[in-house]
């Protein structure tokens, strides 16, 4: 199997419009969660989210084209542009051997909501002709591939909150098996709409701390009461180790392990066994290295955080063997299908800078969540191997392990 490395990164979320500003804000414990402005939340039981503020889609595509794509695609284009620029690929790159691996949990929910209202109130003839091509999940990869001219495999992962992580592992497999020499991974989500927030709220999955949004997402804290929706995107350029070295590319890290599993348990309630098996598969593939940091799925929900803690301890043989663990969802909320991509970028930047992002809003210890969650602020550390976890509705799990080169 060919070795796969990461040579370009891009990121946008509620605390920053580029990877450097967003990572700095995450490490400084800034919180991008606030009262929703993308729609009027007055009638909703949940009124908070981690929105990407002051983002103009006309900065990533021609203004006259903006209406042809949903907001999740706009955000994905932004992250992809940054990652491609960061990778600094040579002009003679073989684009027939350069593919796309996209990920989103829901895709164009704003467009679906908007055109459903049009159908109900104004009839089928008033539905936008751009609705379907602008809302389909795979159109994220479609728009990005057209912009950058990638003509290799064009893949999409639609696996709920594990989609971004699965998009990375699918890209990695494609390169390892010789299906492409380079892959651009892009994960994006923008589901902060009335039907999105209302739907998750109806499930009792969201925090209702409307009066204190900055402290609503509190991973591993005893008083956590649900996740907070976020939005954003991330992108990673993957290529063979040989190609990266030959062209003198900056290498953020190597993907040495990935694991996938299914809970076969419940459509929304996560199990302990499923995530544990995904972690074990990634760990075994990586050769069971010493893990220096775990970027947790850490959603701030009662069951996930407890089960994930237990799964990490099971993987490494007890609390005493576990490295620092943290979740950045206190800062940016849960970006659903984009979360795994954003967290992969965060892990690679953490290795680059030798710093572990903190878990913010941890105030009251939970006896079921008893690991070192880096609650005192960002921590300097030598990071050579890091693990990133993502678990989604439907019992779909993905885990990535990166190694510093």
* This prediction's pTM: 0.97
Per-residue model confidence as pLDDT tens for the chain (405 residues) = 899 999 999 999 999 999 999 999 999 999 999 999 999 999 999 999 999 999 999 999 999 999 999 999 999 999 999 999 999 999 999 999 999 999 999 999 999 999 999 999 999 999 999 999 999 999 999 999 999 999 999 999 999 999 999 999 999 999 999 999 999 999 999 999 999 999 999 999 999 999 999 999 999 999 999 999 999 999 999 999 999 999 999 999 999 999 999 999 999 998 999 999 999 999 999 999 999 999 999 999 999 999 999 999 999 999 999 999 999 999 999 999 999 999 999 999 999 999 999 999 999 999 999 999 999 999 999 999 999 999 999 999 999 999 999
Catalytic residue, candidates 148, 297, 322, 335? 297
**Is 335 assigned a catalytic role?**
no
DSSP 239: E
Residues 335, 344: contact at Cβ < 8 Å?
no
Per the listing, tokens 């908007």 go with 114
For residue 1, the model assigns a pLDDT of 83
**Is 161 assigned a catalytic role?**
yes
Long-range contacts from 200-208, C-beta under 8 angstroms, 24+ separation: 200/46, 200/229, 201/44, 201/45, 201/46, 203/268, 205/268, 205/301, 206/46, 207/46, 207/48, 207/300, 208/45, 208/46
User: Which among 346, 253, 295, 340 is positioned nearest to 15, based on CA atoms?
Assistant: 346
1-405 CATH = 3.40.47.10
Rounded Cα gap, residues 234 and 225, in angstroms:
27
Catalytic residue, candidates 31, 161, 335, 369? 161
Q: Where along the chain do its domains lie?
A: 1-405
For residue 370, the model assigns a pLDDT of 97
Q: 19 phi and psi, to 5 degrees?
A: -65, -40
**Is 297 assigned a catalytic role?**
yes
Catalytic residue, candidates 74, 148, 166, 334? 334
């Amino acid at each position: 199997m060919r070795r796969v490395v990461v040579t370009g990164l891009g990121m946008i979320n509620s605390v920053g419009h580029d990877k450097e500003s967003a990572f700095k804000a995450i490490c400084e414990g800034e919180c991008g969660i606030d009262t929703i402005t993308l729609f009027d939340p007055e009638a909703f039981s949940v009124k908070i989210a981690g929105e990407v503020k002051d983002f103009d889609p006309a900065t990533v595509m021609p203004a006259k084209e903006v209406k042809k794509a949903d907001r999740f695609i706009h955000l994905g284009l932004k992250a992809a542009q940054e990652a491609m620029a960061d990778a600094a690929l040579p002009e003679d790159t073989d684009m027939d051997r350069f593919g796309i691996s996209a990920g989103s949990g829901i895709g164009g929910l704003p467009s679906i909501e908007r055109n459903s209202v049009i159908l109900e109130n104004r009839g089928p003839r008033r539905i936008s002709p751009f609705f379907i091509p602008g809302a389909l999940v795979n159109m994220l990869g479609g728009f990005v591939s057209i912009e950058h001219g990638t003509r290799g495999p064009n893949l999409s992962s639609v696996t709920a909150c594990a989609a971004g992580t699965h998009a990375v592992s699918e890209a990695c497999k494609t390169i390892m098996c010789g299906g492409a020499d380079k892959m651009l991974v892009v994960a994006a989500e923008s589901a902060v709409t009335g039907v999105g927030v209302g739907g998750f709220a109806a499930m009792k999955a969201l925090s209702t701390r409307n009066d204190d949004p900055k402290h609503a997402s509190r991973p591993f804290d005893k008083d956590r009461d649900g996740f907070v929706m976020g939005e954003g995107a991330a992108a990673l350029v993957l290529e063979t180790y040989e190609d990266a070295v030959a062209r003198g590319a900056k290498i953020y890290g190597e993907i040495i392990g990935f694991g996938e599993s299914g809970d076969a348990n419940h459509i929304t309630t996560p199990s302990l066994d499923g995530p544990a098996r995904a972690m074990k598969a990634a760990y075994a593939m990586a050769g069971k290295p010493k893990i220096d940091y775990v970027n947790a799925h850490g959603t701030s929900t009662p069951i996930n955080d407890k089960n994930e803690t237990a799964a990490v301890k099971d993987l490494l043989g007890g609390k005493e063997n576990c490295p620092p663990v943290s979740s950045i969802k206190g800062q940016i909320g849960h970006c659903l299908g984009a979360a795994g991509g954003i967290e992969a970028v965060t892990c690679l930047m953490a290795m680059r800078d030798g710093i572990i992002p903190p878990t913010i809003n941890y105030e009251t210890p939970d006896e079921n969540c008893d690991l070192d969650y880096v609650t005192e602020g960002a921590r300097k550390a030598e990071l050579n191997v890091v693990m990133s976890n993502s678990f989604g509705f439907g019992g779909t799990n993905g885990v990535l392990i990166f190694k510093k080169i």
